[in-house]
Every structure is written in C-alpha cells, then in structure tokens.
Structure 1
Amino acid sequence: MEPSNNGSSSRLAPLENRYEDEVYGEPLKSKDLYKSTQPTSFLEPLALTDITSRSVNPTGISMSSGISAYMSSQASRFEDYLYQFAMQPTSGSKNGPLFSWFGDYVLAQSDKILEYWYFKPTNYKKQKFNQSVVDRLQSSNFTRWITLVDIGIVEAFVAGDTTQSSLHAFWLDYVGGAVKRELERGRAPLETQERRTDWIHFSLMKAMVVKSSNAYRLLQGITPTFLETMFSDPTLWPDESNFMRIPLSNILASENHELAFFTSVDSTFSMAFGLPQQVEYDSTIHFKHCSTSHQWAHNTPADFQILLTEINTCRDKSPNARCWRSIEQQLIMWQSRTGEHTFAESWMTVAWYAVQESWRLALLAYLYIAVCDIPSNDPRIQTCVNQILQVVETLKPRGSFKLHASLFIQYLIAGICARTEAQRKKVRDKLLSPNETKLWLLRASDFVPVLDHLWHGVAVDGRSIRWCDYMQSRETMLPV
C-alpha cells in the first residue's frame, strides 16, 4: 500500500534508515510521560493538557533529531505510542518503559477482540490463548510494537473508522520493513521463527486493506516465509509426512493463527481469482476436531476449508487432486455434528449450522461450475444459489457491535451463478456494504466490477454462463 499524500510520508521520513545498534531511532527523553498517560483506546486523541502540563514537547521525543515535524499537536494516542515503540530497541528487558501497563492493556484488548467474534464457543481455551499473548509480549520490544499496531487496526476496522487509513498504511509498511530487516540480520532460531511469523501476520493484515489484485502479489511474496516457518516446526508434521505437500489439517488444528490464516487466504484467493494456490496441500491427514481461534475469527469451518482447497486443486488438474465425484458425495452427504461445539448463546448454535450449510451449498455450486464445467442454468447450481441466499438471510447482525458473519465465498459464488435481478441486487448490495464486509478476508467491493462486467456482458438478461466467462470478466476488471 502506498502512503497517503496527506503529509504522512514526509513527516515520517526521519524514521527511515534508523536501524543501527538494534534501535529504530533516538531514545526518548521523557519515558514517564508514556507510563502515566495510559490509553483506554488507541483511537482516542491524545489530550494536549496531558503533555503541556509536563513541560515536554508534544511527542516526548528528542527534538535534536529533527523529529519535531513528525507529529502535530493533534496526533492520536495510537500514533504517539507507535512512535514510542519505534524509538525503542528491538530486543530488551521485559520491563521497558511501556511494559508496566502494556501487558494488562493488551490482555484487556485481546478479550475485547474476542467479543468481535460472531461466534463465542464456551469450549475455546481462552486461558491458553492469553498465556500465549503474555509469552509473546515478554520476548522483545519489537513484538510489543507489532501487537500495538495490530490492536489499533483491528479497533479501527470494528469501529468502521476510515479516518486513520493512511496512518495504518504507513505503519503497516514501516513495521513490515522493520521485520524484513530483522530477518535479513540473522538471529537465533527462536527469534527468527518469531520474526517470520510477524512477517506473515503483517503481510496478511495488509492484504485485507489493499486492492485485492495487489493482495494476491503480497501473498506470493510471503509464500517462501510461510514454507520456511513450516519446515522449521517439526510439531506441524505428522510421522511419515510427504514433505512436498503441506499438512493442512495439522495447521488448522494448531493455534498457530498466522499459518492457518495464510492457508485460508490462499485457498480463498485461489477460488476468487481462478489461480493456483501458492503451495500444494496434503488434505489426506485427518485431525481431531477442536475449537481453534482461526475458525471463530473468520467463520471458516475447518472441514470446508479443506474441501475448498481440494476443489481448487481439482479445478487446476493437479496430479494429486482428489476425484471430484468423491468431493461431491461428501458435500451431498454432509451432516452437522451435533454437540461438537457449545456456545455462549443459544442462537449461535443455529447460526453455526447456517454458516456450515452455506459453505456446503457454495462449495457444491463451485465444484459444478469450476471443475465439472456445468453451465450456471443447471438445476443443481440454481438450487444451490437459491438456498445460499435463503440461508445467509438468517444470519442477522448481532451484539452491540452489530457483528456480521464472514461470507465472502458464499456471496461471490451466488453472484457468479445468479440469474435474476433480485438475486444479483442482494449480492451486489452485500459486497458493497463496508459495515458488513469490514472483517472479511478480501476486500469484497473489488469484485463488484467483475460481477457487473459479467452480468452486463455474457450473463445479460439472466443468460447462462460458464466458469471461463467469469474468468474473462475477472481478468478484464481485476487483473493480477
């Protein structure tokens, strides 16, 4: 993502090339300022009275370095504290200037982020998740800095606050560059593994906010790092593994959110763009069903993510592809496992079944049109489209944040195969709704021009189309 032309790039120029001696910039003169002005949210402005009363400059940063132009008196807390971390060593003691309150703050925000999940399973091991957060925060100032950026962006996403987009764009680029430099330095194995995970995390977060065609190139760029991370973790590989293929089930059953996130984005991009997945997955290894953060954060049932990966592989005629008839039979015969998960509220049980059913129908239609080359007017496909749109209508916005389930694949497949104006309007309105799609894996609005091109071209007046027609529209309107 290119930094905005609103002045952010020039104001932040003094931060560039400050990597000597493991420090991103000059140390702050007034550490007490940041210890005593604890933020309740990084979206809140920093009150001028907080800083003027201490007789220090607005940033608390040494003016001798020419940094004064970097922040205006209206800088947000988010920007102030990010800059504070940018000035700290990348590694250091557990008790840095911000750590006295930062650990508690992050845990509180982690709990808050869990509230953003559409589904809240009671069997999710929250305590284990919190401990992993604490362990990460204690490793270095660098990981605390990264966590801070993550929290700020997620808060803005959920709040629907677009005013800080250019700020987030800059910090994503800046932190990403810092992570890359760290990887190039060469570190101890554990630290290198952490930086690889950070690189994947930030690249995927950036992929959620940039144009989808650029996001696909981002995905290509981090694939080598994903593979290095996989091959350096023996716990993800079962006995007698085929090291030419990535054991997908093991990743999805783990709490390595970044790796699971990568596989989900990879398979989703492959379906939406009609391009091969970045890596070859082994879906023959079955795992014990469990409750993982990835599944709930993105409303992606593990069984159906595996099936999506298999359909993509089958579409691309991989020599390791599963027979399409076997996939079809599994989708037709699928039954929800009663009692597999228990939820905080009763409506979630019904809604989880609806999400699973919408996945089943979408993948069945995708299999028919993309793998079997069946035209969209086939009764089997049209039945799926009608039922998808009926099922997703039952998934209402919930909670104080008016949360929406993530349903990109369902709406895209329904849109590709839709024949009536009523169906197309439903799909178009949903994909263009920023409030409903803000936490989806892809920028859904990028695919509206693709569908418009298809609907007003080959599919005009409800005419039948084939997968190649969608691909032509995608390549025309959203080239990679």
Structure 2
Amino acid sequence: MIATKSKPGPRRTSCLTCRKRRKRCDLSRPACERCLKGGHECLGYEHSESHKGTQEEDLNIPVLQSHPAPTTVLVSAIDSEKVLPVFLLLVAAHSNLHVEQPSGNLVISFPHTFGAPQYELKWFVMYDAITSLLLGVQPMVEYGYNSECDSASHGLEWIHGIPFVLFETISQVNSWRAGSRAAPLDNWRNLETRVLAWQSPLTVTEPQESGANIAARLAIQEGWRHVTLIYIYMGMCGVSSHDQRVQTSIMHIMQLGEAVNDLPIGVHVFVHCVVVGLAARYERHRCIVHEKLLSFKGTRVWLFHGVEFGRILEHLWYGVGAGGGPVTWDDYVRSRCAVVPM
C-alpha cells in the first residue's frame, strides 16, 4: 500500500485518533505520521471514501483500494498483484533489501524491507503477510529472514497493534506453508519459543494516557501472541482445533477481548476474530465472534469487511465444524475458497 502526504487539514477530515486526541492531523495516507511518531495507533479515516479521488490524483502508481462488500476480498487480492511490480522495482533499487540464498536464488529480506524508511515497502509486506494468513494464499514474493529488525524503526506496530516479532513469525509460517524450509522454518519449535519468550515493550506512555488505553493496547498485543501460536500449531504443525494448546489460546483471546470491546482500538481485533472463529468449538464463542465480525462494516485499517469472513466461518461451522467438530487450517482455507473463490 502506498503512503501519501497532505497538508494538515480541518478536524472533520482528520484521522480518528487525532480527532479523539484533539490534535491536528497531518492527513498522511494510509496512516497519520503524527500518530506514528507519537507512538499512537492510527485508527484510519472513517471518511476515506470522500478522499478517494484526492488520493488517486496524488499518485502515479497503482494503489491498494478498498471496495464495498461482497467482493472486497477478491478485489484486494487483485489490487495487491497490481502493486507487486512497483514493489519489486523499489526493492531492486536497494541492494540491502534482497539477499542470495545458498541455492543461489534471490529473496526479499523481510527484516530489512520492513525496516526500510519507505512506507510503501512496509505496507506491501504487511498486507502480503496478513492476506496470506486470512485467505490461505501464498505470499506474492519469497522472503528471507536473515537478520533482526529494529522494531522501533518501522512504526506500523502502532497502526495494527501487532509487535514485529509476532508479525515476522506469522510471515514465517506463511513461507513454510508455501514450501520454504530454510532455518528457522525447519523446526516449528524455533518459532514457538520465540513467540512465548516475547515481552511487550509498552512501559513508557504519555502522561495523559488513561489506564484503560494502556490495558487495551497490552490486550491487543497479547492477543496477537495467541493468534500467532494458533497459526503455528494449526497452520504449521497441522493439529486440529481440538488441540488443547489451540483451545487455551482461544480462551486467552476471548478474555483479552473484553478489555477492548467498546473502545475504538477494538478495530485491531479483526484478525483475532477470524482466527478464533475458525478454531472455536463452542457455540457461545462462535456467536460472539460472528457478532463482532458483522460490526466491522468498513475496511478501516484492514482491506476487508467483516461480513465476508462471517460467511466463510458460517460455511466452516455448518460443514466440517458442525456440532463443534474438529477443523484444520486447511478446512478453513477450503471454506474460504468455496465462499470467496479467487
């Protein structure tokens, strides 16, 4: 996704975070840089449709667009493919963003690209990974995980609430599912150990930030830990939703979700809902997830509408998962293919 800048604008056009904080928004797209630099989650622009024309006029290269239901999943994937050539051109211009594997193949350095100063590179990597997770498709490029990334350098953690360590692990599982077996992808325990050892860096906050906001941000991050663990167990190890580790993580996510139920930051639990929904075996959990997904009527910081994934989960629940039966990650992917073929 391509970031654009505009001059600071009136309050009615500000991002949701700046409006809530009563700050002057710089109107950067897709996320306000004032929020990023201040360490705040940018909740996006609820009025993005009214700015679509301006954004398209400012850019001379393809941009990921959001579209109304019921085709946003398919359109988002197609538009991602349109952006791919631009992404590859930008990466080719910087030698440190691609590395040579022992086999002689060139791959995209995941940590270096995500740590690059160009926001368009970060956004492509972010949406490539999340699209692979949610839609069960292969990443559009092959990534190498050859070094560490300074998580403070990328800023996107404040947009989606996902720590870099956990985000990289999700991408690594995507790569494994696409056929990569290079270390550390040769052993799922390497990824599990890293996820379990991760600790939140949230210690310093602005004086005016409430305890509720701090608790909500921590809940979002901890929820991502359990989303990542579920993906490792189901997407990599191949266990079913009845595996005790999966059910334990579901219970944790459900409890953590109570901290963000009625807060704007709750937009960040979209992916949590999908992952919990596909693995939920109890009707009460499925009902909570379904209701929450239907509340995501706009794409906001993600490119998808909740109703589409509600339909995918319904297909899974009334099919393989009927009566709380065990399902696998591949069962979920098959339901996605049946409901939203691509």
Contact 1:358-1:391 within 8 A present in 2 as well: yes
Match of 1:205 in 2: 65
The answer to whether the aligner puts 1:113 opposite 2:44 as a matched pair is no
Taking the aligned partners of 1:441 and 1:117, their CA distance within structure 2 comes to: 22
Alignment of 1:48-447 (within 5 A): 106-108=7-9, 112-113=14-15, 115=17, 129=33, 154-157=45-48, 171=53, 175=56, 195-196=60-61, 199=62, 203-206=63-66, 211-234=72-95, 237=97, 244-290=106-152, 292-320=154-182, 322=185, 323-337=187-201, 339=203, 341-343=204-206, 345-347=209-211, 348-398=213-263, 402-434=264-296, 438-447=300-309
Report how far residue 370 of structure 1 moved.
1.5
CA deviation string 1:182-241 (max 9, x = no partner): xxxxxxxxxxxxx44xx3xxx22336975102211211221111111122245x638x76
1:252–1:478 Cα change, 3 Å: same
Aligned amino acid, residue 372 of structure 1? C
Report how far residue 298 of structure 1 moved.
2.5
Aligned amino acid, residue 363 of structure 1? T
1:231–1:397 Cα change, 3 Å: farther
Aligned amino acid, residue 237 of structure 2? C
1:370–1:155 Cα change, 3 Å: closer
Taking the aligned partners of 2:20 and 2:158, their CA distance within structure 1 comes to: 7
Contact 2:297-2:305 within 8 A present in 1 as well: no
Report how far residue 358 of structure 1 moved.
0.4
Q: 2:325 aligns with which of 424, 444, 463?
A: 463
Report how far residue 381 of structure 1 moved.
0.7
Alignment of 1:1-20 (within 5 A): none
Match of 2:38 in 1: none
Report how far residue 291 of structure 1 moved.
5.6
Larger relative CO (CA 8 A, sep 6+): 1 or 2?
Answer: 2
The answer to whether the aligner puts 1:478 opposite 2:340 as a matched pair is yes
Taking the aligned partners of 1:292 and 1:470, their CA distance within structure 2 comes to: 31
Taking the aligned partners of 2:132 and 2:10, their CA distance within structure 1 comes to: 33
Contact 2:129-2:139 within 8 A present in 1 as well: yes
Contact 2:16-2:45 within 8 A present in 1 as well: no
**Identity, % of aligned positions:** 26
Report how far residue 262 of structure 1 moved.
1.2
Quote the RMSD (CA, aligned, Å): 3.4
> Which 5+ residue runs of structure 1 have no aligned equivalent?
1-102, 121-125, 131-152, 158-164, 180-194
Contact 1:369-1:467 within 8 A present in 2 as well: yes
Which has more radius of gyration?
1
Contact 1:118-1:405 within 8 A present in 2 as well: no
Instruction: Give the match's secondary structure for 1:332.
Output: helix
Aligned positions, number? 312
1:129–1:367 Cα change, 3 Å: closer
Report how far residue 435 of structure 1 moved.
5.7
CA deviation string 1:136-195 (max 9, x = no partner): xxxxxxxxxxxxxxxxx93515xxxxxxx5x777x48x937x95xxxxxxxxxxxxxxx4
Match of 2:41 in 1: none
Contact 1:118-1:296 within 8 A present in 2 as well: no
Instruction: Give the match's secondary structure for 1:246.
Output: strand
Report how far residue 118 of structure 1 moved.
9.2
Taking the aligned partners of 1:118 and 1:370, their CA distance within structure 2 comes to: 38
Report how far residue 108 of structure 1 moved.
3.7
Contact 1:270-1:276 within 8 A present in 2 as well: yes
Taking the aligned partners of 1:251 and 1:228, their CA distance within structure 2 comes to: 13
CA deviation string 1:247-294 (max 9, x = no partner): 222333344222211111111110111111001122231122316442
1:287–1:261 Cα change, 3 Å: same
Match of 2:37 in 1: none
Taking the aligned partners of 1:300 and 1:119, their CA distance within structure 2 comes to: 22
CA deviation string 1:318-361 (max 9, x = no partner): 1436121111121223222353x534514333322211110110
Report how far residue 299 of structure 1 moved.
2.2
Taking the aligned partners of 1:360 and 1:231, their CA distance within structure 2 comes to: 33
Alignment of 1:31-50 (within 5 A): none
Contact 1:450-1:477 within 8 A present in 2 as well: yes
Instruction: Give the match's secondary structure for 2:138.
Output: coil
Instruction: Give the match's secondary structure for 1:245.
Output: strand
> Which 5+ residue runs of structure 2 have no aligned equivalent?
23-27, 35-43
